[in-house]
Chains A and B, each alone.
Chain A
Amino acid sequence: MKIQSTEVIDTFAEAFKMWATRIIITAENSKWALEAAHSVTGFATSVIGCKCEIGIEAEIPETDTPDNRPGISILIFAGSANAVAKRIVDRVGQCIMTCPTTACFNGLDVENKVKSGGKLRYFGDGFQASKLLDGRRIWRIPVMEGEFLVDDSFGVQPAVGGGNILLLGNNIKTTLRAAEAAVIAMRKIPGIILPFPGGIVRSGSKPGSKYKALPASTNDAYCPTLRSTSPHSELPPNVGCVFEIVIDGLDEVSVARAMRSGIHAAAGQNDPLTISAGNYGGKLGEFHFKLHQVLQEVDG
């Protein structure tokens, strides 16, 4: 399939079942909400090495946040509901509670809940207090600046991790331009994050390694320097650079929308480009996003 001059390979992205939550960070102004968001989403690119994948979903105007202050929503993905709960405690405690003027609220109104705020409250050393209003319990943890507010419970739901597209270009300059365009378009889609730096990953991985201690290693099939060395190379001779964009989403529809949006944006750069996707032969992941099918679907 071709979109303008871009070839879209007939393949699929293989993604996995994960669990996710949405957290709303608010602060006195958008600068401090963003500071907290940057801190809490740091070192959270892949469950392989970071135990979770986290990213900024959107900025939220003060009219739409629980306490009517400027806000940022972030999504946290991990392998189980319990793992998400632990990451909330770790990261909210270290990165949001510590950040001036912030508060932290649940952003996912679903049945499954984890009581992460109810654990963070112990930082208050017995001086914490809670308020229960309209069924919502909020903890007031005394801090040197005043009080840190955090929801007692956060919603968690099954989610999709590891949706992806691969951009195969001639060189770094044009391939990066296409990837950046894709990221800008994909970040407009609600319910997804792109957990890697700037939304783009250059060191895509395959599961396993010749070294037994490593759970993952470089994706040699897509390394241009290994075209003549790797027995699995997937790259035609004109490809000198590959970037991957990984998408985690709250559901399949959101991931598919983001992939579609990204593919069209990347193709729209009119640079020589081939778009593919990473999979493991369909044997590992529960979700298969077939590129041609994704492109044919229409946003509802």
Chain B
Amino acid sequence: MVDIEFGYHQQKPNPIIMKLSLHTQPEVPLEAEVITTKELYDKNEVEISRLSLFHGNQKVPLGEFFKVTGKFENSVEIEGDLSRVKLIGCGMSSGKLIVDGNVGTHLGAGMTGGEIMVTGDGGDWVGREMSGGRILIKGNAGHMVGSAIRGSSVGILGGEIIIHGNIKNEAGSAMRRGMIAVGGNSGDFTGVNMLAGTVLVLGQMGIRNGAGMKRGSIITMQNTEMLPTFNYACTYQPSFLRFYFNHLRQLGLAIKDSFLDGVYQRWTGDSIELNRGEILILQP
């Protein structure tokens, strides 16, 4: 049984909660976009076991890899090393998925509502192009968290992604709305091409952050190298941050009082674009 703290969403799973247990490790990635509350709703164990997955290019029944137990009560627990299972929670609109372990790429892609919670690590493309709901990962995640897919001009349109650990490059690429919060470090090009929205990184960011951003906010608690196309505006206390920090604190991120009461450098950019974006850097 999962026993993790997710802030005010902490919840002991119901003993009869539906559980999908990975019993056979796939040799190549499994495409499991049927593992969403919408697809599992109103189905019994047998029906769910017959749902189709793609194992590489082979269509296989879900039961070939997962043991299904319990009754669907608007939430599903999935356990095992799912790092080769892609697209879990894809397009989800309500309910709750709890993943006890690591999870593969494209977690919660395009989701519009509901919650996904992961006790381990996430892969690349977490929550890409989502428009609502919340994804919370206790471990690390990969590249392109909350981003647009290649060739798309708009990334996430809403929702929240909270990663307690570190993430890699291009988080929030072309995001239009919503929030990405990272408890650890982020890679390069954080918030690249942002249209709006908010990215918070409590740790260290990589380089070239906010490149090409039009609007939106990137907030970091560590000093960072600024692109030459960003301009220093002032050092002040942005009171709106209190809302974000209070919210994140409730979700279990380690928010220090100094974040709430601190002063921040405000840099605006990217001046090769609208110059309406901002990077806020907490001052020691």
Instruction: Tell me the A residues contacting B by CB distance below 8 Å.
Output: 66-69, 103, 129, 131-134, 136, 138, 140, 146-147, 149
Contact = CB atoms under 8 A, between A and B. Distances in A.
B132 to A, nearest CB: 10
Contact of A133 (B215, B238, B239, B247): B247
B238 A66 contact: no
Given A68-B260, A146-B236, A146-B237, A133 B243 contact: yes
A149 B236 CA distance: 14
Contact of A134 (B215, B237, B247): B247
B59 interface: no
A163 B158 CA distance: 45
Contacts of A133: 179, 198, 243-244, 247
A131 B243 contact: yes
Contact of A138 (B215, B240, B276): B240
A83 B177 CA distance: 32
Given A129-B215, A131-B198, 9 more contacts: A67-B239, A67-B243, A68-B260, A69-B242, A132-B158, A138-B243, A140-B240, A146-B238, A147-B236
Contacts, number: 41
Contact of A147 (B160, B238, B247, B276): B238
A42 to B, nearest CB: 25
Contact of B242 (A67, A140, A146): A67
B131 to A, nearest CB: 12
Contact of B240 (A68, A131, A134): A131
A68 B242 CA distance: 8
Q: Chain A interface secondary structure, helix, strand, loop or mixed? A: strand
Contacts of B179: 133
Contacts of A66: 243
Interface in B220-278: 236-240, 242-244, 246-247, 260, 276
A132 B247 contact: no
A142 to B, nearest CB: 10
B239 A149 contact: yes
Most buried by A among B158, B177, B179, B243: B243
B246 A149 contact: no
Given A68-B246, A68-B260, A132 B177 contact: yes
Contact of B239 (A132, A136, A147): A147
3 closest cross-chain pairs (CB), A and B: A67-B242, A146-B236, A133-B243
Contacts of B238: 146-147
A129 B213 CA distance: 15
B271 to A, nearest CB: 15
Given A131-B198, A132-B177, A133-B179, A149 B240 contact: yes
B240 to A, nearest CB: 6
Contacts of B236: 146-147
